[in-house]
Amino acid sequence: MSESHFDLIVVGAGPGGYVASVRAAQLGLKVACIEKEAALGGTCLRVGCIPSKALLESSERYEEVKNHYQVHGIDVLGVELNLDKMMARKNKIVKTLTTGIAYLFKKNKVKRYEGLGTLLGDGKVSVTKEGAEAQMISADKILIASGSYAANLPNIEWDGSRIGGSTSALSYPEVPKHLVVIGAGVIGLELGSVWARLGAKVTVLEYMDMAMPGMDKELSKEAVKIFKQQGMEFQFGVKVTGARVEGDQCIVQREGGEDVICDRVLVSVGRRPNTEGLGLENLGIETDRRGCIPVNDHFQTSVSGVYAIGDVIAGPMLAHKAEEEGVACVEAMVTGYGHVNYDAIPSVVYTHPEIASVGKSEEELKAAGTPFKKGSFPFKANGRAMALEAKEGFVKILAHAETDRVLGAHIIGARAGDLIAEVGVSIEFGASSEDIARSSHAHPTLAEIVKEAALAVDGRAINM
Ligand code: FAD
Ligand code: NAD
């Protein structure tokens, strides 16, 4: 095999691409991974999951020290925000994790190419980078993991400062006086929370009649109620038609309503699959109406030997979904078997309180005509939640009415993102709500709320 020929070329080093590269190398393949950005890790590590969670954590601590320590009998005076330091911490975490991937590539002998990967057909891929000579490499198989980019709306010009997407909102140089968030999806709620906690007035304009459309309705309603109590303002059924900068102000226009004046705008109306520059046209691969690359159960595209995973294909745009697909895809290449159970992929919104779901929502079960039972248990009836001063929220478990098999769980409350893992594993193992209810959960823990909700499916919660 020539030096520039590989068993597998992976295009994109986000959570989908870098995990697939490492797993393929573990399975004995000679792997190259092409990434156009200087830092590895994709949207998730550079400008997504990791920096947003760093800011969510810091801003939550700030808000907690300022407003909630008194209840524990701790008076804290003179609390001040040092935004530059908060941002520097976030940047340091990103740097540590992205360089960690370079280390993983070295350890697993994944050859890294820096530049834009363009598929040319017959297993050939060019790598181009401004100021450097183009390189030509080839492989028996190619895996596209090119991710996604933030969507915009017509008549909104991102000026890279006052009006922009999540990447700008991860690095505002000062706390906005009034931040308008367009879209009450995951990004809008997470980054809206960050800036609200740090002192901004936050107005969320959402097109639909609920936040996080698609999520279990009971959860969404409870979340909005809590976020409103925290000071965030929501306007539903609002169609934004444009936004512009005038001096140091932004004017947001909406259909049938008055303009909203603010000093920063976060556009968070979804993300689109990223296929630009990939050269799909050279291979005759067509995207679907949402711009996704269509694949079969083994993530193979319409062209033999060319695969795709992660945000660039259909399904929830989540880092762990991309990772599972990356692993399943390369395992199927080598062993003939690789599978992702989409019913067991959790989704978590890292607000305060956190919001987490796995499996089916009540609305989905009703629409499918699946008979189900539900059990709910509130955080306020749990001892540990009281000790934590985290009394908001509930756990809801949905199980099949006849077989008792767990079909879904929806949690709003402290550490919901960690609590949901137990139910995800239960779904993966085909467990019943009785299995969860009969498993011992340490006392006093928040995990006991999951157990009590499982008991409640059968009407026998103990502490309610
Ligand atoms: P990406 O991470 O987008 O990686 C694709 C990579 O491919 C990029 O680095 C890109 O530069 C590179 N690339 C593209 N085309 C080429 C080419 N032709 N040649 C070379 N390189 C190319 N998900 C979660 O699960 N949890 C979270 O908490 C979370 N928080 C988020 C917060 C924000 C603000 C955002 C924006 C997203 C968040 N997400 C979160 C979503 C998550 O980031 C994505 O689902 C995930 O990154 C998708 O992984 P991927 O590997 O498919 O694509
Ligand atoms: P989203 O799809 O979650 O939400 C977009 C929202 O914008 C929707 O509620 C939609 O109704 C609304 N919208 C669309 N057009 C509008 C208009 N003209 N006016 C007003 N509202 C409008 O998208 P997002 O929040 O941008 O996030 C993008 C992706 O990133 C999501 O798919 C999400 O999975 C992923 N992400 C995940 C996490 C996490 O897992 N914690 C965090 C951030 C982002």
CB neighbours of 175 closer than 8 A, spacing ≥ 6?
Answer: 81, 83, 195, 198, 199, 200
Rounded to whole angstroms, how far apart are CA atoms 246 and 239? Answer: 21
pLDDT recorded at residue 164: 97
Rounded to whole angstroms, how far apart are CA atoms 462 and 156? Answer: 54
Rounded to whole angstroms, how far apart are CA atoms 93 and 458? Answer: 45
Q: CB–CB of 329/298 below 8 Å? A: yes
Told to judge if 443 belongs to the known catalytic residues of this protein, a careful annotator would answer yes
Ligand 2 centre to CA of 267 (Å) is: 9
Ligand 1 centre to CA of 321 (Å) is: 11
Same domain, 139 and 286: yes
Q: First and final CA of the chain: distance in angstroms?
A: 67
Same domain, 261 and 129: no
Which atom of ligand 2 lies at the shortest distance from residue 184's CA?
9
Q: Which residue has the tokens 């692993």?
A: 327
pLDDT recorded at residue 160: 82
Domain extent for 139: 3-149+272-340
Evaluate: CB of 205 within 6 angstroms of ligand 2: yes
Q: Which mutation among 45, 149, 189, 207 tests ligand 2's pocket best, with the greatest number of atoms within 8 A of CB? A: 207
Sign of the Cα torsion 66, 69, 71, 76 reads negative
Evaluate: CB of 350 within 6 angstroms of ligand 2: yes
10-residue stretch averages of pLDDT, the chain, 464 residues long: 89 98 98 98 98 98 95 95 98 98 98 98 97 96 98 92 96 98 98 98 97 92 96 96 95 94 98 97 97 97 98 98 98 96 97 97 96 98 97 97 98 98 98 98 98 98 95
Q: What pTM value is reported for the model? A: 0.97
Residue at a domain's end among 237, 254, 269? 269
Rounded to whole angstroms, how far apart are CA atoms 122 and 124? Answer: 6
Residue at a domain's end among 269, 289, 318? 269
Mark 298-326 as b/e (b = at least 16 C-beta within 10 Å).
Answer: ebbbeeebbbbbbbbbeeebbbbbbbbbb
Same domain, 294 and 244: no
Return the structure tokens found at 194.
């960050």
Domain tally, the chain: 3
Rounded to whole angstroms, how far apart are CA atoms 291 and 373? Answer: 38
Q: CATH number, domain at 261?
A: 3.50.50.60
